[in-house]
A and B are shown apart, each in its own frame.
Chain A
């Protein structure tokens, strides 16, 4: 069983829609990352969370440690948001990152 799961696997949205990507994990963690990967492959860190909620521009990330669940929300989605969004966890400080399978988002004008 994968330690990090994401849903949905693929998502198509109309420009302007509110988007939610979910992540669940089965291990104890010290931190959770949300990452973005564009075609061409580079990985960009969006958020690192250990509790609560973080907001950056149109992106909001939340985490519920008790339920082992995190969500990434995108408000007023735009075609430039089209990318793969990856949830990844660290079990302990300075540990390796365990990656989820990613959610492929396509935002249509």
Chain B
């Protein structure tokens, strides 16, 4: 089983619908992140969480919200999906030590029509 699991892997939804992307991890890390990737733009940070009581906005948080239900679970919601939110979404975790890498889930490809 993957250390960082994202569900669903692929999703097509209609404009205006609410959608939730889920992420769970078995690495025991405190820090979790949601990134969005568009072609040619690298990874843009949406939200990140230090622990279950700590939620922080990233570079592009407008139109998104998150919930940290437990140390191991971090969900991303699109309250009212719009077509320009079509992208590849990645969840990542890290333990916060300087130099420690982030571990990524397999990604969720979201299409908003």
Partners in one complex: no
Please give the residue numbers on chain A whose beta carbons come within 8 Å of chain B beta carbons, in ascending order.
none
